[in-house]
Amino acid sequence: MRATIQRVSQASVEVDNHIAGVIQEGLLILLGVCDDDTQDDIAWLSKKIAQLRIFRDEHKPMNRSLIDIDGDALVVSQFTLYANTKKGNRPSFVDAASPELAKTRYEEFVKALEKQLDKRVATGIFGADMQVSLVNDGPVTLNIDTKNR
């Protein structure tokens, strides 16, 4: 699994002119799934994201986690995180999971993150054409790949 995580002061995702998910302070998580992602990848990534110390406190700009601040999370499926651009000018997505498997793993990840945070996690709509809006706080943007632990 690959995730691009952005620390936000607010974020939302819109589908067909309707808000599908909206959060205030927290993390926007763009999530990509590949064929060999496992339950172990889901557990590791959800815990890593929940405990990642990238929020401010009175001492340091990155000292508190999403759990510590009781922050929100918005998870949006993003198969393009598995784009391969080595050949030609058109990205290849052969490394991304099939839509059926990706949807299952995406939903499992959302549930695992909800368990880590002990709260509901906002989402987009899997496979939909989505418009994502955010105010990146910092800016802070990180990439995590479960294959590079």
> Helix-strand-coil percent breakdown of the chain, rounded to 5?
25, 40, 35
Q: What is the mean pLDDT of residues 69-80?
A: 97
- Residue 130: which residues within 8 A CB-CB, separation 6 or more? 13, 14, 15, 20, 76, 124
Is 18 a residue whose pLDDT tops 90?
A: yes
Supply the pLDDT for residue 105.
98
User: Model's pTM, two decimal places?
Assistant: 0.96
- Domains, the chain, in order of start with CATH, read 2-145 (3.50.80.10)
The backbone torsions φ and ψ at residue 105, rounded to the nearest 5 degrees and listed phi first, read -65, -40
- The one catalytic residue in 80, 104, 123, 141 is 80
Annotated catalytic residue 38: no
Share of the chain above pLDDT 70, in %: 100
User: With contact defined as beta carbons under 8 Å apart, do 39 and 111 qualify?
Assistant: no
Retrieve residue 135's tokens. 């105010």
Distance CA 81, CA 106 (A): 13
Q: How far is CA 144 from CA 17, 31, 48, 109, 118, in A?
A: 31, 10, 9, 14, 22
**What residue type is 44 in one-letter code?**
W
- pLDDT classification of 61: cutoffs 50, 70, 90: confident
